[in-house]
């Protein structure tokens, strides 16, 4: 039976998910859409050729009797309230990051979900669904390179706008590494320090770029992540795991290699959507399948909370320059199932 979805938020990623559910994925249909701008919602429905109801309020989508599950892609500060309302209504919800604007807000969602007695929330962290990261995790878990000792990572964007500020290097960019590296290593963070090297001439007054984030995990693994959001040359994600017996690297995206005019070259992507487009498809298809099976297995509200706790410590480290503790509570048994 087709899962009937309600989408709250018809901005860029909301429209992408509507397109994805309508044209790419199987087992679901979008029956309700809302946006603070009704014209956006209508445009998204019309562009996908849907016979969906358009609502002005996300709460009305949650309450709609024909909606089985929800996708939240609205303005970030609204995510927590909509996620809590979905839990209250007993409806599974796929919530794009962030789950909430603060760790305390994420914890409220966690507590509400545990009170409900079953997992109802999946957070939109897509990298665990990427084929490259899955292959890298398989090598780590196999023990082929021995126990991981260090990770060298990079998150580079060609450029960002003037509205992108220093703190967003953590909350909008590093947040993906904070999630996926916990999953990759099956470990939590213990501490963080942030350093700022010489700034690129391509930045602006409100953005320190690049940044180096140095994390230590509970198992003692040291991680350095370079965040460089005005690197100019492309969108580039790197992850190298140094183990006791060898080194494993995240595979590069598939690209045709050319030999021409005395050059050997491969193309580097420039758009993050192209780099992870398959992962977005797999992620949302998995959510649909898991809802139909009655058990969510993707990134959880607890994962959203853990990323937020780590991000808060990173923000503090940006300001202090010191090594800051990351005080992460033990994972509740509810999220170990």
Peptide bond into 98 cis (omega under 30): yes
Q: What is the pLDDT along the chain (337 residues), one digit of tens a residue?
A: 799 999 999 998 999 999 999 999 999 999 999 999 998 899 888 888 888 999 989 999 999 999 999 999 999 999 999 999 999 999 999 999 999 999 999 999 999 999 999 999 999 999 999 999 999 999 999 999 999 999 999 999 999 999 999 999 999 999 999 999 999 999 999 999 999 999 999 999 999 999 999 999 999 999 999 999 999 999 999 999 999 999 999 999 988 999 999 999 999 999 988 999 999 999 999 999 999 999 999 999 999 999 999 999 999 999 999 999 999 999 999 998 6
Picking from 329, 333, 332, 283, the residue whose alpha carbon sits closest to that of residue 103 is: 329
- Under CATH, what is the fold of the domain 3-126+277-306? Rossmann fold (3.40.50)
| CA-atom Rg of the chain in angstroms | 20
Burial class of 334 by CB neighbour count within 10 A (0 to 12, 13 to 18, 19+): middle
Q: Where along the chain do the CATH 3.30.360.10 domains lie?
A: 132-271
Region 132-271: CATH code:
3.30.360.10
Q: How many CB atoms within 10 Å of residue 263?
A: 7
Angle between helices 301-320 and 103-116 (to 10 degrees): 170
Q: Where along the chain do the CATH 3.40.50.720 domains lie?
A: 3-126+277-306
Gap between the Cα atoms of 317 and 325, Å rounded:
9
Give the residues across from 95 on adjacent strands. 72, 123
Gap between the Cα atoms of 161 and 69, Å rounded:
34
Q: Are strands 257-260 and 263-266 parallel, antiparallel or unpaired?
A: antiparallel
């Amino acid at each position: 039976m087709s899962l009937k979805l309600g989408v709250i938020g018809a901005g860029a990623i909301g429209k992408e998910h509507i397109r994805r559910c309508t044209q790419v994925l199987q087992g679901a249909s979008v029956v309700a859409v809302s946006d603070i701008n009704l014209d956006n919602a209508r445009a998204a429905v019309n562009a996908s050729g849907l016979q969906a109801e358009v609502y002005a309020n996300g709460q009305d989508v949650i309450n709609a009797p024909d909606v089985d599950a929800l996708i939240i892609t609205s303005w970030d500060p609204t995510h927590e309230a909509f996620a809590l309302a979905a839990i209250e209504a007993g409806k599974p919800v796929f919530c794009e990051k962030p789950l909430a604007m603060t760790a305390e807000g994420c914890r409220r969602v966690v507590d509400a979900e545990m009170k409900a007695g079953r997992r109802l929330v999946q957070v939109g962290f897509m990298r665990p669904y990427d084929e490259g990261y899955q292959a890298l995790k398989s090598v780590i878990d196999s023990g082929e390179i021995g126990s991981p000792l260090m990770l060298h990572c990079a998150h580079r964007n060609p450029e960002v706008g003037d509205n992108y500020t220093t703190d967003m290097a953590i909350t909008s960019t590093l947040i993906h590494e904070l999630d996926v590296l916990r999953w990759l290593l099956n470990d939590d963070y213990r501490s963080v320090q942030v350093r700022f090297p010489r700034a690129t001439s391509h930045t602006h007054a409100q953005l320190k770029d690049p940044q180096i984030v140095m994390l230590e995990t509970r198992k003692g693994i040291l991680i350095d992540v370079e965040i460089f959001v005005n690197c100019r040359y492309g969108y580039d994600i790197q992850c190298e795991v140094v183990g006791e017996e060898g080194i494993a690297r995240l595979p590069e995206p598939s690209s045709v290699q050319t030999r021409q005019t005395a050059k050997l070259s491969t193309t580097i992507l420039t758009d993050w959507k192209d780099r992870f487009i398959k992962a977005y498809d797999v992620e949302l298809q998995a959510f649909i399948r898991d809802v139909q099976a009655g058990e969510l297995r993707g990134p959880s509200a607890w994962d959203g909370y853990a990323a937020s706790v780590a991000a808060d410590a990173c923000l503090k480290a940006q300001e202090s320059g010191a090594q800051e503790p990351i005080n992460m509570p033990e994972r509740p048994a509810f999220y170990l199932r």
